[in-house]
Structure 1
Amino acid sequence: MRHPLARKAGIGAALAATAALTLAGCSGSPAASGPELSDEPVTLSITWWGGDARAEQTQAAIDAFEEEYPNITVEPQYADWNGYWDQLATAAAAGEAPDVIQMDELYLASYGARGALADFGGLEVDTAQIPDDALATGQVAGTQYALPIGVASYAIVANADLFAQYGVELPDDDTWTWDDYADLAVELTQKGGGAITGSAQIAGFDTSSLKYWARSAGEEVFDEDDQVAVSPETIADMWQYELDLIAAGGMQDPAAIVESQTAGISGGAIATSKVALGTAHNTQITALASASGADLRLLKLPEPEGIHPNFFKPSMYWSVSGRSEHPAEAALLVDFLLNSEEAADVIGTERGIPANEAIREHLAGSLSETDALAVEYQERVTPGPAPLVTPNGASGIEGILQRYSQEVLSGQTKPLDAAKAFIAELQAEIDAAA
């Protein structure tokens, strides 16, 4: 897809002809006084986290962009997850953040609140092919600070090979309940004779699981006033379910859970076939299947009647620095990365299942078997409204949640006491950042 204000050839003439035009905002409404593209040489910087494979793919997309827009040079930067946020924080504090920033949901409110990110409402990026529910994940107080690159949904991962080996039928995920899940996990453990456990830990180790349990109870983790809104009783119920499942033999014990988490996605209990059931995001199916070599399936989580707790989780976003000297060109690069088939052909699904539905359709014929499973699953899920973005100060929520989960599952703290302490500690972090 070509950007409407520039062409591969004759870019200077095209820009001169359109100099009087006002750039349209990403929502489709005209921007009051949007930035204009320059026909002079421009240098942009872009940053992301990830490994060498992501760097190679992103560089190939940058090369395609520079070929189409020869007056723009793009300087790439990248780091691993931990180093990335340290570097970005230092650069942003000095007013030297890269023009285009790969952003994560945990940090979006923090950077948006301090004016470090531009409002896409005043920039030209075509978002017509990104569903409203997905776009909403990049908004803070109604302002579009980030555009989702890929989206994911929470899922149950079932090892069909283990089900077949022990003579257990896969469940009907349109009708099952959490009681059914527990019965199934216990049955798998018993028929496995000690070789496997029915289920890995299914909640309390990431924000998606907490959001799912909160929404199943008709609650949200956060409200619009940056308050922790999930009740301690709901969190305690989540932990009590797991304690009961451990006691029944259907879920791994606390020591095995810690070992699995420490081993990471490629060495955890699902990837090493130590369990037949677990939770993950649908986009993780490729890594899990590659590590395990097993026939893995994606199942919908149990849903209360009349409630759709699942949601689109952005794998990551593109944002534009609020201090960029070239916001129009930065938006042009974001538009290219999100909307062009040239970029899609080299990046594929490495950053998740594309949020852009047209790009997803373009890639459909070239998807791997597991990526196709992820897309099929996402199309089966009925998401509820997009959760509010994690408030400023709450980026450490997963570490806090994991700590209390370990205390509860190991018997050190009672579920309700831990839930109250978790909420109090998380709220204190948010209040301190206000």
Structure 2
Amino acid sequence: MKASPFSRLAIGTVASLSLVLTACSGGSTDSAPELSDKPVTIRATWWGADARAQLTNEAIAAFEKKYPNIKVKGEYKDWSGYWDALATTTAAKDSPDVIQMDELYLASYADRGALYDLGKVKKILATSQFDDQALATGQVSGTQYALPVGVGVMSVVVNTDLFKKYGVDVPDDKTWTWDDYAKVAKELTDKSGGKIHGAAGAPGFDAGSLKYWARQEGGNLFDKDGNVSLKPKAITDMWNYGLKLISSGASIKASTMVEDQTAGITAGSFATGKAAMTGAYNTQITALQQATGANLKLLQMPHVGTTKANFFKPSMYWAVSGQSKHPAEAAAFVNFMLNDPAVADILKTERGIPANKEMLKHLEAGLTGPDKAAADYMNEVTPGESPVVTPNGGSGIEPMLQRYTQEVYFKKTSPEDAAKAFIEELQGEIDAAK
């Protein structure tokens, strides 16, 4: 579904891809294409494992039953292979009609004309059940190129069993600050005699944590023009805070954070019971619950000031290819996948808590355990304005950020020097893509 004292929790490793895409205008030029009553075949592609494919194919079968003249050929790959294949087929003007898209690459494809303007199919593709801020996550320069399948918001996940074991009270997440977080984390480390650490990492290993720190200080990572608007002070403050967490023993060591990056969500320090708190999107609680076997609770993010720093993070989107010869049929498929209760009953929360409010309401009565906790948490949080989508050229931000964060936490570079270098390098990548 992938800000603060968190090491990155993600299902896959974000690869920095060089997208060799040509300007693509091979699709229909009609301002409002209409569904055909003749036999039509479209292709739909997504990343994920066999379990996702099985559920998606069930949804495809339901779609084909409703639209008997439209046949959908499904294609799927793992995360890294997916982006290589999509870049290749798009460059060859042979892109699948329907594309599962990620926020990191949305602008890269949209700017090259590789995605279809969904405003042209608004009579086929309904968006009324999406929150405005959720819709904004799929917009580039004001144009709706994609619709979020699921959305998540940032949270702190706590292992309440460890809090109880070591006699530490779970903090009031309506009022706590970053100082409170550090204090609680150190208390957990100290009361356990060093058997565990309070925090399973420090901020800076994922773009979400960086966005949160920028937003809570009144800024943003990117501005409306897609340039880096991050203030050096925000990232310097974030790293200085992380250094204090590490040096005090409140957090695991920097070397362990790097090991956790490789281990992944189900085998890191939090998942194995070696830390009591971690940062994650609320939708990741299901995987963490399965890994820990412990009682977990979602807490709202620590904060400073009154700025609404939290934000909707799309788990993924559905988009229509700008090269599609059947944009109406592709839009009908996306509409079915996002707006039909039959699909909600099949997929449930496999692709995240539904961004469609009607579908979430449809599912809520049947949600239990961590899925219910994730949905309840999202209903409690009031996100601020959606961040600007990662601009073209910025898709490599996470490995870049991780590299600088490691240099700071291993004390090879000062936070101030690293902040300046990171901002310059990221802006340079964006400028080179213009």
TM-score normalised to structure 1 length? 0.92
- Aligned partners of 1:117 and 1:381: how far apart in 2? 31
Query: Is 1:299 paired with 2:315?
Result: no
Equivalent AA in structure 2 for residue 196 of structure 1:
I
- Aligned partners of 1:418 and 1:303: how far apart in 2? 24
- Aligned partners of 1:167 and 1:233: how far apart in 2? 36
Structure 2 contact 202–246 (Cα < 8 Å) conserved: no
Partner of residue 65, structure 1: 63
- Aligned partners of 1:281 and 1:305: how far apart in 2? 22
Structure 2 contact 137–314 (Cα < 8 Å) conserved: yes
Structure 2 contact 202–245 (Cα < 8 Å) conserved: no
Cα deviation, 1:117-173, whole Å, max 9, x if unaligned, reads 000100121111110000000000000000000000000011000000000010000
- Aligned partners of 1:431 and 1:415: how far apart in 2? 24
- Aligned partners of 1:308 and 1:270: how far apart in 2? 27
Aligned equivalent of 1:94, options 70, 92, 95: 92
- Aligned partners of 1:381 and 1:32: how far apart in 2? 41
Query: Equivalences for 1:33-432 in 2 at 5 Å?
Result: 33-123=31-121, 124-432=124-432
Look up the SS of the partner of 1:421 in the other structure: helix
Structure 1 contact 202–209 (Cα < 8 Å) conserved: no
- Aligned partners of 1:196 and 1:41: how far apart in 2? 61
Cα drift, residue 244 of structure 1: 0.8
Q: Aligned pair count?
A: 404
Equivalent AA in structure 1 for residue 419 of structure 2:
A
Equivalent AA in structure 2 for residue 188 of structure 1:
L
- Aligned partners of 1:248 and 1:397: how far apart in 2? 29
Look up the SS of the partner of 2:393 in the other structure: coil
- Aligned partners of 2:233 and 2:309: how far apart in 1? 17
- Aligned partners of 1:325 and 1:248: how far apart in 2? 60
Structure 2 contact 221–230 (Cα < 8 Å) conserved: yes
Cα drift, residue 316 of structure 1: 0.3
Look up the SS of the partner of 1:237 in the other structure: helix
- Aligned partners of 1:266 and 1:365: how far apart in 2? 28
Equivalent AA in structure 2 for residue 115 of structure 1:
G
- Aligned partners of 2:364 and 2:317: how far apart in 1? 22
Structure 2 contact 216–305 (Cα < 8 Å) conserved: no
**Larger-gyration structure (1/2):** 1
- Aligned partners of 2:200 and 2:132: how far apart in 1? 33
Equivalent AA in structure 1 for residue 235 of structure 2:
I
- Aligned partners of 2:425 and 2:277: how far apart in 1? 31
Cα deviation, 1:199-221, whole Å, max 9, x if unaligned, reads 01241111111000000110100
Moved more, 48-57 or 197-206: 197-206
Cα drift, residue 32 of structure 1: 8.4
- Aligned partners of 2:413 and 2:287: how far apart in 1? 34
Cα drift, residue 225 of structure 1: 2.2
Structure 2 contact 45–99 (Cα < 8 Å) conserved: yes
Look up the SS of the partner of 1:333 in the other structure: helix
Look up the SS of the partner of 2:331 in the other structure: helix
- Aligned partners of 1:125 and 1:163: how far apart in 2? 47
Q: Give ranges in structure 2 of 5+ residues lacking alignment.
A: 1-28
Cα deviation, 1:227-281, whole Å, max 9, x if unaligned, reads 1111112101100001011111101111111111110001111111110011000
Equivalent AA in structure 2 for residue 360 of structure 1:
L
Look up the SS of the partner of 1:354 in the other structure: coil
Q: Give ranges in structure 1 of 5+ residues lacking alignment.
A: 1-30
Equivalent AA in structure 2 for residue 377 of structure 1:
Y
Higher relative contact order (CA 8 A, sep 6+): 2
Look up the SS of the partner of 2:365 in the other structure: helix
Cα drift, residue 226 of structure 1: 2.1
- Aligned partners of 1:306 and 1:238: how far apart in 2? 18
Look up the SS of the partner of 1:366 in the other structure: coil
TM-score normalised to structure 2 length? 0.92
Look up the SS of the partner of 1:270 in the other structure: coil
- Aligned partners of 2:242 and 2:202: how far apart in 1? 8
Equivalent AA in structure 2 for residue 80 of structure 1:
D
Partner of residue 22, structure 1: none
- Aligned partners of 1:385 and 1:207: how far apart in 2? 17
TM-align CA RMSD: 1.0
Structure 1 contact 404–418 (Cα < 8 Å) conserved: yes
Cα deviation, 1:356-394, whole Å, max 9, x if unaligned, reads 011001111222310100011111111100000000000
> Where does structure 1 differ by over 3 angstroms across 4 or more consecutive aligned residues?
none
Partner of residue 19, structure 2: none
- Aligned partners of 1:372 and 1:39: how far apart in 2? 41
Equivalent AA in structure 1 for residue 76 of structure 2:
Y
Structure 1 contact 200–278 (Cα < 8 Å) conserved: yes
- Aligned partners of 1:299 and 1:312: how far apart in 2? 16
Cα deviation, 1:55-89, whole Å, max 9, x if unaligned, reads 00000000000011111100000000000000000
- Aligned partners of 1:226 and 1:370: how far apart in 2? 36
Structure 1 contact 223–388 (Cα < 8 Å) conserved: yes
